[in-house]
Structure 1
């Protein structure tokens, strides 16, 4: 249940583009064609699926305070969290180079269409944001970290795929001259963000129901304890 909840929340509610506005440069620049958007989105999913769990391992066993205890008790007091940015970026850059080699080998046309934006995945703030959010939210297990990386990548993929499809169709629309290009794209992005926010009520309804049931249980316990408290108070008065 926890995996499913994290999966859908990362895609719809905590979407990298619509909730935190990360990765906007690639989102706007490479969303003119659906085919290009699909290729870049797939590359982002692949990179995030590898870097987020790998960076989770780095955080758990090297970076955080006391993470080096497995080397011996003399290392238990070490705190290397100040190296988080450096190591996270190094991991991301390595994976991006791997993706670039694979795309160039198996799909030269996609490699040429992505152009400079493929190596720029290394500085895509959505990729680094996934690892930093994983660290700040203290995701407890490697499986959940992998889940979060994949689902965050899918959320970014859906965002760029949707805007690319809309921008292909909007070429044939009579858009006012001042809004053509990025103007209408920003407006559509805002409307899409509002649409994605509507999923919040659907996916958090179970949490609210659970909280309400907990409140009702506490009220029932207090009602049961009230007569006991009155009896104990009356007993004390009689003894006095």
Structure 2
């Protein structure tokens, strides 16, 4: 349970797709002019990541990894299909994005029209593919952790585009210097937001180091007290 909670918050704040590794920046900058549009695209990204990361985890575990085909028989245990990772992951992502596009067009035509070309472009959004590749490189062990990572990574991207969209709506009425209007001030705000998100790293990782130091100090104190006791017993014996 603790592992799930830790992965959830780290994926949202510390390893945020936008602010930590700068993935999905094209859609982040182009579709963040209005909050309503940003919410729609962010929800679509969450859905696609939540579906594709677990599916790609299953593909990686039972098809692509070296020795993953041993469930077919011992003669397949030496097979290594890892070179197909990119093709398989992209095929899964493209399928899910097509499904999202059909659903959005059916139930929310206005959102479909406002998203325009950026909805099908989720299929080549590097944040989506990055979620599956990071899942693979981090060697996530269970399907539930993969699902957790997909959801949390999507929420992190959603919060990033929602925050910048809200700021850009307000900043229209601000007196921004002419050379910085548009993408200039957007990049500056994104950098400041990135610093803010990364500052959560001390809260989520500092405790572990502190606990380790505390345990080490406690062990040293215990060792010293045992040595003092032994020395006192030896002194009594000599007397």
Query: Same fold by TM-score, threshold 0.5 exceeded?
Result: yes
Query: Residue in 1 aligned with 2:126?
Result: 125
Pairs within 5 Å for 1:32-71: 32-71=33-72
1:174 counterpart = 2:175: yes
In structure 2, distance between residues paired with 1:76 and 1:13: 37
Query: Residue in 2 aligned with 1:97?
Result: 98
Change (3 A) 1:225 1:60: farther
Query: Residue in 2 aligned with 1:201?
Result: 202
CA shift digits 1:154-179 (9 cap, x unpaired): 00000000000000000000111110
Q: Normalising by structure 1, what TM-score?
A: 0.91
CA shift for structure 1 position 207: 1.3
Q: When the two structures are aligned, how many residues end up with a matched partner?
A: 227
Change (3 A) 1:168 1:4: same
Query: Residue in 2 aligned with 1:139?
Result: 140
CA shift digits 1:205-234 (9 cap, x unpaired): 22112321443366468769989xxxxxxx
Change (3 A) 1:174 1:213: same
Give RMSD over aligned pairs: 1.6
In structure 2, distance between residues paired with 1:210 and 1:70: 42
In structure 1, distance between residues paired with 2:206 and 2:179: 41
In structure 2, distance between residues paired with 1:150 and 1:91: 16
CA shift digits 1:5-51 (9 cap, x unpaired): 00000000000000000000000000000000000000000000000
Change (3 A) 1:79 1:224: farther
In structure 2, distance between residues paired with 1:69 and 1:217: 47
Query: Residue in 2 aligned with 1:184?
Result: 185
Query: Residue in 2 aligned with 1:80?
Result: 81
Change (3 A) 1:65 1:222: farther
Unaligned stretches of 5+ in structure 1?
A: 228-240
CA shift digits 1:60-104 (9 cap, x unpaired): 000000000000000000010000000000000000000000000
Unaligned stretches of 5+ in structure 2?
A: 229-239
